[in-house]
């Protein structure tokens, strides 16, 4: 950012870093999250009303945190958890810990669940159909366990990404262990250490700042709920703060700038958000960075990220733009090729509470222009922003048989990119943000329908166009139809048809335009 853009970035970053979670109730629970496995296993055991394995393992369905909390709340309302088998208690305990903020917002008294033995879930789906899916198996195995009185551990592994990952042409390039963490809840702060997928967005078609497209990061994460004092606190309600620090390794980039050489990559993020227990409006403010270095690591945790970058970047003849330069102790770098910063704001409004109808927007700033005359002698930075707007109603009709989601996203050219390839906002070529990257208009729609107690279908349309025809980008269409039929509470048969054209890709698609189909049989334990 330059000029006014630099000033605005610092102001926004300061607002985020000023206080010391979870996610908005309308946020999408990321693909690969162990919650899907737990709910599939519990539904197979008959613990969930009006749900089956297919709802969590069909391959196309993602839920919001609010919807996940509804499943958990219904389960708590109809059964005495303390009397359930030990392994089942561990599974429910893990879900209650994860969705406690949403449960409290619903008025649910969050129970103290006695620790039990480890709970296991196993999900298997066999598929067959047109090339490239001529026949294969998708499997997930998960284990959850209480650790002492206040901690929960989770492990899941499998090849579930082979089914949905749409950008990487070769399958099997992701680690089989996507989730492996231990979470300790204390009165002061909740701490998570390990691998866990993160997705900060209400967008079903993708998340602008932090998505689940890339493999999960090894990380340490701190989460804290708190309330502001006085009248402000009563009006705003409870707030949540999240901060994580992750590290990954990528191949060295040939001819990289000297300050950005090597294979180590750091990805940090923090988020401040409302809890959803006051009014219909919810909001969050987030910032992240990817870097090849971590000078003064303590300051990376303590300072707003944009101020941290500013403190350790020594640009000749621009010392006046380094208000935090006093923290460096003389150790600075001559340019920003080692650091890539993002800031994001989200706002949701629950328009029709009894239908859970919600409208939302997600706004990302990578770089932004300063107005003419305020740039000084600096080279103007091209504007790089993204905007996603959408609406979701899971119960269009009173019976809740139909649900509809509509979204539109527009992202400037070069967003997520960088003049320094090592800190482009991706890991191993997979976006950390929106799946299509920059230079795109995306139109997305999804309709879910419950035809009977056993049969469900969904239809999706994804139309993508390049925003600037003279810049690199992807264009194409994908139309998909999914269906499942429950043989019993633990097994289902499914079918899927995809019509793909242009640059939108599915795993192992080798032709430009293709229509393909598949059938599957799935079972859960």
CA distance 338 to 333: 8
Residue 465 maps to a domain? no
**Is residue 233 assigned to a domain?**
yes
Which range has the worst mean pLDDT, 92-101, 266-275, 409-418, 456-465?
92-101
Question: What is the per-residue pLDDT for 498?
Answer: 87
Angle (CA) 31-99-212 rounded to 5° is 20
As a whole number, mean pLDDT of residues 442-470 equals 95
Domain-located, residue 70: no
Q: Give the long-range contacts of residues 226-235, CB within 8 A, separation 24 or more.
A: 226/19, 235/278
Q: How many domains does the chain have?
A: 1
Cα 347 vs. chain centroid, distance in angstroms?
16
Burial-class residue 385 by CB neighbours within 10 Å (0-12, 13-18, 19+): middle
Please give the residue range of the domain that contains residue 378: 1-20+198-438
Question: How many Cα neighbours within 13 Å face the side chain of 263?
Answer: 4
Residue 314 forms part of a structural domain: yes
SS3 for 430?
A: strand
431 in any annotated domain: yes
- Per-residue model confidence (pLDDT) at position 517: 87
- β partners of residue 520: 127, 494
In a domain, 3, yes or no: yes
- Which of 26-35, 125-134, 489-498 is predicted least confidently? 125-134
Of the pLDDT bands very low, low, confident and very high (cuts 50, 70, 90), residue 13 is very low
Name the more confident of 167 and 198.
198
| Whole-number average pLDDT of the chain | 85
Residues sharing a CB contact under 8 Å with residue 159, sequence separation 6 or more, in sequence order: 138, 139, 171, 172, 176
- The single-letter DSSP state of residue 313 is B
Domain assignment present for residue 452? The answer is no
Q: How, if at all, do strands 430-431 and 426-427 pair?
A: antiparallel
Calculate what percentage of the chain has a pLDDT beyond 70.
86
Measured distance CA(143)–CA(466) in Å, rounded: 43
- Detail the DSSP E strand segments found in 232-263: 239-249
pLDDT at 339: 95
Q: How confident is the model at residue 147 (pLDDT cuts 50, 70, 90)?
A: confident
Question: What pLDDT digit, counting tens, does each position of 480-493 carry?
Answer: 999 999 999 999 99
DSSP 381: P
pLDDT at 380 over 70: no
At residue 337, the pLDDT reads: 93
pLDDT at 20: 30
Confidence of residue 292 (pLDDT cuts 50, 70, 90): very high
- Confirm whether 496 is domain-assigned: no
């Amino acid at each position: 950012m330059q000029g006014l853009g630099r000033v605005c970035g610092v102001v926004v970053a300061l607002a985020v870093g000023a206080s010391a979670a979870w996610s908005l109730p309308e946020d999408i629970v990321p693909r690969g999250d162990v919650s899907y496995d737990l709910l599939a296993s519990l539904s197979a055991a008959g613990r969930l009303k009006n749900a089956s394995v297919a709802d969590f393992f069909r391959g196309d369905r993602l839920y919001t945190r609010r919807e996940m909390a509804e499943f958990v709340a219904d389960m708590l309302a109809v059964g005495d958890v303390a009397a359930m088998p030990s392994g089942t208690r561990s599974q429910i305990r893990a879900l209650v810990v994860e969705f406690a903020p949403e449960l409290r917002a619903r008025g649910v008294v969050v129970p103290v669940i006695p620790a039990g033995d480890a709970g296991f879930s196993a999900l298997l789906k066999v598929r067959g159909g047109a090339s490239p899916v001529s026949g294969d198996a998708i499997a997930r195995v998960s284990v959850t366990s209480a650790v002492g009185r206040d901690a929960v551990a989770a492990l899941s592994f499998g090849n579930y990404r082979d089914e949905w990952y749409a950008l990487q042409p070769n399958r099997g390039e992701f680690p089989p262990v996507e989730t492996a963490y231990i979470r300790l809840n204390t009165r002061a702060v909740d701490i998570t250490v390990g691998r866990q997928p993160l997705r900060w967005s209400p967008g079903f078609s993708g998340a602008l700042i932090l998505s689940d497209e890339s493999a999960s990061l090894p990380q340490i994460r701190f989460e804290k709920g708190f309330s502001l004092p006085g009248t402000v606190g009563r009006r705003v309600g409870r707030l949540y703060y999240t901060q994580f620090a992750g590290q990954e390794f990528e191949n060295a980039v040939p001819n990289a700038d000297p300050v950005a050489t090597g294979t180590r990559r750091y990805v940090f993020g923090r988020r401040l958000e409302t809890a959803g227990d006051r009014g219909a409006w919810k909001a969050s403010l987030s910032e992240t960075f990817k870097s090849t270095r971590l000078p003064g690591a303590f300051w990376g945790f303590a300072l707003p990220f944009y101020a941290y970058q500013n403190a350790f970047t020594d640009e000749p003849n621009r010392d006046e733009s380094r208000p935090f330069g006093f923290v460096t102790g003389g150790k600075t770098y001559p340019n920003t090729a080692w650091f890539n910063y993002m800031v994001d704001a989200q706002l949701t409004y629950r328009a029709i509470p009894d239908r859970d109808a919600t409208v939302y927007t997600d706004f990302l700033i990578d770089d932004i222009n300063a107005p003419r005359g305020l740039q000084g002698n600096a080279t103007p930075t091209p504007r790089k922003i993204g905007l996603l707007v959408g609406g979701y109603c899971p119960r269009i009709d009173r019976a809740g048989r139909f649900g509809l989601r509509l979204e539109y996203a527009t992202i400037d050219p070069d967003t997520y990119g960088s003049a320094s390839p090592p800190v482009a906002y991706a890991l191993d070529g997979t976006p950390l943000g929106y799946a299509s990257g920059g230079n795109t208009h995306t139109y997305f729609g999804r309709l879910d329908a419950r035809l009977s107690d056993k049969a469900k279908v969904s239809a999706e349309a994804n139309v993508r166009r390049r925003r600037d025809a003279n810049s690199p980008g992807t264009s194409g269409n994908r139309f998909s139809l999914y269906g499942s039929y429950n043989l019993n509470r633990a097994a289902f048969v499914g079918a899927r048809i995809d019509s793909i054209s242009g640059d939108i890709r599915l795993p192992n698609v080798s032709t430009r335009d293709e229509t393909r189909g598949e059938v599957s049989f799935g079972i859960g334990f």
